């Protein structure tokens, strides 16, 4: 899994840093997201999914699917 963040979309809500402080931080200057670990270990994949799912600005992107649960319901 790889993580990417879009600082232009980020509104500084801080959910990511709250839910996954090992992976995300907030810039002291503008409050926007800082990516601490773009290639998180498996132990943090669940937190990465939770942060991406709860970001109100959809500013967090997960790349790659290795050992990751589905990040979206497809409506079966
Ligand atoms: S949860 Fe989303 S909007 Fe909030 S700080 Fe993180 S990336 Fe930015």
Read off the pLDDT of residues 19-40 as tens digits, 9 standing for 90 and up.
999 999 999 999 999 999 999 9
In angstroms, what is the span from residue 29 Cα to ligand 1's centroid?
15
Probe target for ligand 1 pocket from 5, 12, 23, 25, with the most ligand atoms within 8 Å of CB: 12
Residue 65 has pLDDT above 90, yes or no: no
pTM for this model (two decimals): 0.83
Beta bridge partners of 35: 24
What's the rounded Cα separation, in Å, for the pair 18 and 73?
24
Residue 72 has pLDDT above 70, yes or no: no
DSSP strands (E only) in 27-76: 33-35, 60-63
Angle at 18 between CA 14 and CA 22, to 5 degrees: 110
């Amino acid at each position: 899994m790889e993580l990417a963040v879009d600082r232009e979309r980020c509104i500084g809500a801080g959910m990511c840093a709250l839910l996954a402080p090992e992976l995300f931080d907030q810039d002291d200057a503008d409050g926007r997201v800082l990516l601490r670990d773009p290639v998180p270990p498996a132990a943090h994949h669940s937190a990465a999914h939770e942060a991406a799912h709860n970001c109100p600005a959809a500013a967090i992107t997960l790349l790659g699917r290795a050992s990751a649960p589905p990040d979206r319901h497809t409506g079966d």
